[in-house]
Amino acid sequence: MNRRLGLLLGAAALAAVIVVVAIVVSQGGADDDGGSAPPPRVERLQQDGVFLGDPNAPATLIEFADLQCPFCADYANDQLPQVIDDYVRPGRLRLELRLLAFLGPDSVKGREWANAAALQDQLWGFSERFFANQGPENSGYATDAFLEDLARDTPGLNVSQLQGDIGSPQATALDRQAERLANQLGVEGTPSFYLARGGGTPEPIDIADLGQALGGG
């Protein structure tokens, strides 16, 4: 065989091996993470406590969610990225996440960590990772190790500070605010969505009607 052609075939074979091994290794790592849906980069949007997006946006979408609720995870993983791209990133909508914890102990534990993350303006990044890695309801999966992994995976979150804030008056105040607001609005399940325009009274909305409510697009 021509020596030069042999060299080229050797390079091609070696390249194929390198690419395949790297892809297999990296895909294995992705599976270990358990997150199949790529989360939107909420870190690139303005976060303030329970809010995501431009404070001057003409409307605010309030979501009531339980971190263990599978429908909430479906929304977070499948629909939220589009809502962010279409309405939040252009400054047309601000999001507000109010966490309830009625499904069980894993909900309570998850909310403690999430609301402590909110004190660092990282509620959205943390809760997105929780939803992407949500386990079977009330199986006890929301352990300190599980939650710490999520926190470490959330860019910009100081994990030791978060652990110190769990159960703090500021963090538990967010629990009470969410429950009070849910009672005022008559929330009956999760996820529940309410749209508030220009600081007006939040009105219940079917998330499928969001585009129409915001004037198309």
Partner 1 sequence: MSERRLRIAIAALALAGLGVAGYLTWVHYADLDPVCVGGGGGCERVQASDYAELGGVPVALLGVIGYAAILASLVVPGDAGRFAGALLALVGFGFSAWLTYAELFEIDAICQWCVASAVIMTALALLTSLRVVAPRPAGSGHPRS
Site string for partner 1, 28-47 (x = CB under 8 A): -xx--x-x--xxxx-xx---
Pick between residue 82 and residue 184 the one whose CB is nearest to partner 1. 82
Minimum distance from residue 150 beta carbon to partner 1 (Å): 15
Residue choice 1, 26, 169, 198 for contact with partner 1 (CB under 8 A): 26
Distance CA(154)–CA(42), nearest Å, equals 10
Q: For the CB of residue 179, give the shortest distance to partner 1 in the complex, in Å.
A: 33
Interacting span for partner 1 (CB under 8 A) from 26-34, 59-67, 117-125, 158-166: 26-34
Among 48, 78, 85, 209, binds partner 1 (CB under 8 A): 85
Distance set, CA 3 to CA 9, 10, 16, 120, 205 (Å):
10, 10, 20, 62, 70
Q: How far is the CB of 174 from partner 1 (least distance, A)?
A: 26
Contact in structure between 65 and 100 (CB atoms under 8 Å): yes
Provide the residue count of the chain: 217
CA–CA dist 65, 122 (Å, integer): 16
Q: In this complex, which beta carbon is closest to partner 1, that of residue 86 or of residue 179?
A: 86
> Does 152 interact with partner 1 (rule: CB under 8 A)?
no
Nearer to partner 1, 85 or 144 (CB): 85
4 binds partner 1 (CB under 8 A): yes
Q: How many CA atoms lie within 13 A of 110 on its CB side?
A: 33
Identify which of residues 35 and 104 has a Cβ nearer to partner 1 in the complex. 35
Of these, 49, 58, 81, 104, which contacts partner 1 (CB under 8 A)?
Answer: 81
144: contact with partner 1 by CB under 8 A:
no
Give the binding site for partner 1 (CB under 8 A): 2, 4-5, 7-8, 10-12, 14-16, 18-19, 22-23, 25-26, 29-30, 33, 35, 38-41, 43-44, 81, 85, 89
